[in-house]
Amino acid sequence: MEDETAAIPDVLDLLAEWGVTNHAFRRNRVDVRRKALAAVLVTSGVSYRETARLVGNMSYIAVRDSYVKLTSLLPTGEKANRRSVAIDESVIRVGNGPAYLWLARDIDSGRTISFRASFTGSPEDSASFARSVLDTCTNRPAVRLGRGPNRPRVLKNLDLYFQTEGTSGVVHMIQRIFRVGSR
């Protein structure tokens, strides 16, 4: 039997695919995943120069361009009534250590609501991301979870209804919510 977890796209793949689909990255001299990672790091507060050093093979101007292009596609702060939101987390290697990437999407519209990176992956970082997602909502939406050890506790602390599925259902849930097929 094929390992189903290998079919789950990580957050960086989803974000890169979203950027390409929405025409954020026109010329691809630099890998699209690298551009997406650069944009997420800058959005999370890392400087252009430090991001260029961490990501490698990018100038700080290319980092800035990736950041501007990708973040211009995000909703412009309008709050909406959301029935349900999907949140996923991935751990990737950046520089000499891990980075934790979060992505949130409105399930009904399919729009990306927010993304963020952190170098610690602590429950406080998860809570901060969950609060940033709530800031885009006029209500308290149900949350569908992908993976990640910190979120259920964080969402309970924020008094949010959340739903997780068993390991076999996670693959299909993530593919359905984020509208990607198996790779």
Residue ranges covered by each domain of the chain? 8-71, 84-177
Is 59 within 8 Å of 66 (Cβ atoms)?
no
Top-confidence residue, 62 or 165: 62
| Contact partners, residue 77, CB within 8 Å, separation at least 6 | 136
* Structure tokens that stand for 101 in this block: 């990437």
- At residue 12, the 3 state secondary structure works out as helix
Tokens 């501007």 correspond to 68
CATH architecture of 84-177: 2-Layer Sandwich (3.30)
Per DSSP, the three-state class of 39 is helix
Given a cut of 50, is residue 2 above it in pLDDT? Answer: no
Q: Reply yes or no on whether the pLDDT at 153 is more than 80.
A: no
Taking only the tens place, the pLDDT of each residue in 27-77 is: 778 889 999 999 999 988 899 999 999 998 899 999 999 999 988 888 766
Of the listed ranges 11-20, 31-40, 69-78, 130-139, the one predicted with least confidence: 69-78
